[in-house]
Amino acid sequence: MFTAAELKAALPSAQALGSSSRITGTDLRPFGTSGGGDWGQCRASYASVREMGSIEGAGALQYMLSNSTGNEEAVTAQLGSMPAARASRYLELRRRLNRDCPEVAVDTEAAPVQEHHEAQRLAGLGDEALLEVRRQTGGDEYDGTPSYRVDVRVGGVLVVVESFRDRNAAVMLAALTARRVHSEIYGLRNTRTPWFSTRNLLSDLARSPEDGSAVGL
């Protein structure tokens, strides 16, 4: 397994999403299971959430601002190191959460909010990968705009990228970060293979709806 310092070396560069993107912060912290939605009101999630909480490892987290859509959008990239079997199990648990809890009620101070969850496997990215789509509806400020999360396993390293609104940015950054993990951590410099074909990935996604519902679990 790898240290937080080794993981930090594989975090994406400031220009990973274009010349106008920039890094706003980096944090070395244990890999956590937060993000991707509020599952607390779905009984079917309890066992998966509990098991996910036991999956730990060294971690590194980077905050970025991307301007790929013409407006600055926050994007985060997180790396976690653990045994490969645990990393694979983590992705399986996230698949189960999205499958078992597609609709979750969330308590807010203003009004009841509904979270809509969907996910699809991403072929050709790392050893295995998952694209998650989350939309919130209800009240005045939740209009169903999707946010995206990409989980990629590269051996025993998990790459987790989250982006609000920009699906292509999330997939591209996940692919580029997986490539860096492959080369900088595992020392495998030959990355000119379909395993990292971001062009193929984005082409496939362009043929599916923005909500990610074209391919199920």
pLDDT tens readout for residues 129-167: 999 999 988 866 778 889 999 999 999 999 999 998 889
pLDDT at 215: 37
212 falls within a domain: no
211 falls within a domain: no
32 falls within a domain: yes
3/145 Cα distance (integer angstroms)? 36
| CB-CB contact of 82 with 156 (8 Å) | yes
213 falls within a domain: no
Q: CA separation (Å) from 126 to 13, 21, 48?
A: 19, 24, 23
The residue count for the chain: 217
Q: How confident is the model at residue 62 (pLDDT cuts 50, 70, 90)?
A: very high
- Is the predicted pLDDT of residue 64 greater than 70, yes or no? yes
190 falls within a domain: yes
pLDDT tens digit sequence for 76-111: 999 999 999 999 999 999 999 999 999 988 877 767
Q: Which CATH number does the domain housing residue 12 bear?
A: 3.40.1000.70
| CB-CB contact of 126 with 152 (8 Å) | yes
**Could you tell me the residue range of the domain that residue 63 belongs to?**
4-206
Per the structure block, which two tokens stand in for 107?
Answer: 């308590």
96/65 Cα distance (integer angstroms)? 30
84/16 Cα distance (integer angstroms)? 26
pLDDT tens digit sequence for 4-39: 999 999 999 988 888 888 999 999 999 976 555 678
* Number of folded domains that form the chain: 1
134 falls within a domain: yes
With a pLDDT cut of 90, the percent of the chain lying above it is: 51
146 falls within a domain: yes
Q: Which amino acid, 103?
A: E
Q: What is the DSSP letter of 45?
A: G
216 falls within a domain: no
